[in-house]
Amino acid sequence: MRLYERPASDGMESLLGIIPDISEFERKPTPPHGQLAIVPETHRSRLEQLNQIGIALSKETDIHRLLEAIVVAAKDLTNADGGTLYRVTGERTLKFEIVRTDSLGIAMGGTTGVEISFPPVALYDTEDSPIHSNVVAYAYHHDVSLNIGDAYNQRGFDFSGTQNFDRKTGYRSKSFLTVPMKNHENEIIGVLQLLNAKDRATGAIVPFSAQDQRLAESLASQAAIALTNRLLINQLENLFETFVNVVNAAIDDKSPYTGAHCDRVPLLTMMLAEAVTDCKIGPLKDFYMTDRDRRELKMAGLLHDCGKVTTPVHVVDKATKLQTIYDRIGAVDTRFEVIRRDAEIAMLRAKLDGEPGAETAFEARLREIDDDREFLRFCNIGAEAMSTEDVERVKQISAKYQWCDGRDAGGEPGDFLTADEIENLTIRRGTLTEAERKIINHHIEVTGQMLEALPWPQHLRNVPEYACGHHERMDGKGYPKGLRREQMSVQSRCMGIADIFEALTAVDRPYKKGKTLSESLEILGQFKLNGHIDPDLFDVFIWEKVYLKYAEQYLDPKQIDDVDLSRIPGYVPPSV
């Protein structure tokens, strides 16, 4: 057995005392200073191969492909029949990540989709003592490469599991090369094990050479750096995404009525963007997204309403026109009750004075009062657009009745409704005054300020633009920047449609009911015709049935009605 021992800095006991048959520590002399070592051509080509492998590993962004590439590259460099890569876990075990044995056709883990059923290798026993009998555990504990010529003849290690495997499969596990993988902090993060080196001329199973070992160690070092870098990047991305989810949870906690919106808009945006990528007809047939593009758009979707953390709750949750901390329609009802009481007192006095028709006049007065009260209640809901006649009636009701709140005993009665109540009850559409709508709209400016202040990496540089464009219009009448269609990316235009469609179909809003599919698509079609949303994206939204896929996953079944495409304004059938 050949073993290249790394210098021990912790007073580690002699390896000879651990494994009885280790009798040789092979160390290669270095050339004298100023002289160059003569490198054989085959060795030079393998070094060049190692260099190319290192470059390739540093470019790989997918963890599973990276782990797989490490094993495949190590097998190619050493001409090994098999290879296994283990990763250190938080449970102090070595987990099987990649298993390959070419002659047996075994390929598990990585991109194969085949799950590895082998249990992890324990690093410590039940008494919390390091395990030395297992080769990979030993390499981990002692930070040493183990080069075993024939496992069946090697004493000091337990190869019973290997021998059982060989008996079942008819295989002959012979030469082993086990190399620890260390990160930039000098911590062992995994172990690479190669099996059965093959002679390049005859194909016979031979021990791994000293050159094989040095190449494998060099590869393990490069692989550990590439793996650590990728893990750190993934951890940072996961940390940031978790932080984004925390922000959305804070918005949800402020306003449970819009919590689902922060989750569903990114999902619907991605569904539409994927549909555009898949659609091979129409003006957007050449649109394409990479995995990085997808992550960037998903991040923008998650952050598209982050500015709402500054929006006052009483504005976000304003369910009726008179709602602030409470719905002031109750105060208006109380005034009507006082008006009814005063009318009844007047009727009783008239009867005492013997005036004829007092009760008849009183009943007519009550009907008028009740009719006016029901009208104001209806206006307060904000479900229908108010006509000019309805606005004028609100003002007439305010002037018709006199009211004194009783706090000033000597005060003169005034108009029935305050100026603020009249302003709110005469809102033409919805429940927000102009000032309140500006407060709501300000959230997108805050979103932009928050996102543009962040030092985005190159692959996420478009997040602010995507996230802040969902309230722009194709005709330039949107906000906050008044951008036109040609000034906007496809991604931000996708989010604009997703934001509107989710709002139309949402059932968790306090001021409206969720609309059906057919109602929502008719409104969306009108938005296409009036220059609000992207016409080409609207067509893909219909052609690829994105609306139906979304509805089947997230809408109440009662909202999923039959959609007659011929009734949708602006709908254009696809042409091949």
From 431, 464, 489, give the residue that closes a domain.
431
Of 275, 304, 264, the C-alpha closest to 490 is: 275
Of 399, 380, 395, the C-alpha closest to 330 is: 380
203 and 289 fall within a common domain? no
pLDDT value at residue 14:
31
Domain that holds residue 496: 255-316+435-567
pLDDT value at residue 64:
84
Is 519 inside any structural domain? yes
Of 474, 509, 475, 504, the C-alpha closest to 492 is: 474
From 376, 410, 431, give the residue that closes a domain.
431
Residue 161 is encoded by which pair of tokens? Answer: 């599991």
7 and 119 fall within a common domain? yes
Is 65 inside any structural domain? yes
Residue 474 is encoded by which pair of tokens? Answer: 């194709």
Is 322 inside any structural domain? no
Instruction: Find out whether 567 and 518 touch, Cβ atoms under 8 Å.
Output: yes
Is 381 inside any structural domain? yes
412 and 479 fall within a common domain? no
Peptide bond into 480 cis (omega under 30): yes
DSSP-assigned letter for residue 503:
H
For residue 181, which phi and psi values (nearest 5 degrees)?
Answer: -115, 125
Instruction: Find out whether 188 and 181 touch, Cβ atoms under 8 Å.
Output: yes
Of 55, 59, 89, 53, the C-alpha closest to 71 is: 53
pLDDT value at residue 447:
92
Is 323 inside any structural domain? no
426 and 443 fall within a common domain? no
Query: How many structural domains compose the chain?
Result: 3
pLDDT value at residue 403:
77
425 and 556 fall within a common domain? no
From 400, 431, 462, give the residue that closes a domain.
431
Residue 37 is encoded by which pair of tokens? Answer: 């070592």
Instruction: Find out whether 177 and 188 touch, Cβ atoms under 8 Å.
Output: no
Count of other CB atoms within 10 angstroms of residue 303:
23
367 and 381 fall within a common domain? yes
* CATH number of the domain within which 11 lies: 3.30.450.40
341 and 398 fall within a common domain? yes
Is 177 inside any structural domain? yes
Query: Position of tokens 């520590």?
Result: 25
Q: In terms of pTM, does the model score above 0.75?
A: no
Is 352 inside any structural domain? yes
Cβ neighbours of residue 425 closer than 8 Å, sequence gap 6 or more: 321, 322, 376, 379, 380, 394, 417
Cβ neighbours of residue 555 closer than 8 Å, sequence gap 6 or more: 505, 514, 517
Is 238 inside any structural domain? no
Residue 111: strand, helix, or coil: helix
Rg, the chain, Cα only: 37
* Residues listed for the chain: 576
Q: What is the C-alpha to C-alpha distance for residues 549 and 242, in angstroms, rounded to an integer?
A: 27
Q: What is the C-alpha to C-alpha distance for residues 422 and 426, in angstroms, rounded to an integer?
A: 6
393 and 514 fall within a common domain? no
179 and 273 fall within a common domain? no
Percent helix, strand and coil across the chain, each to the nearest 5: 55, 10, 35
52 and 112 fall within a common domain? yes
| Cα distance from N-terminal residue to C-terminal residue, the chain | 69
DSSP-assigned letter for residue 190:
E
Per-run averaged pLDDT (10 residues), the chain, 576 residues: 43 32 38 44 65 71 83 91 94 94 94 92 94 95 95 91 93 96 88 95 95 89 83 85 82 69 91 96 94 93 88 83 88 92 92 89 94 94 87 93 65 82 92 89 91 91 94 94 96 96 84 86 96 96 96 93 93 82
- For 313-445, where are the E strands, in sequence order? 402-403, 414-415
23 and 120 fall within a common domain? yes
226 and 263 fall within a common domain? no
Query: Apex CA 267: angle with CA 263 and CA 273, to 5°?
Result: 150
Instruction: Find out whether 394 and 422 touch, Cβ atoms under 8 Å.
Output: yes
* CATH number of the domain within which 542 lies: 1.10.3210.10
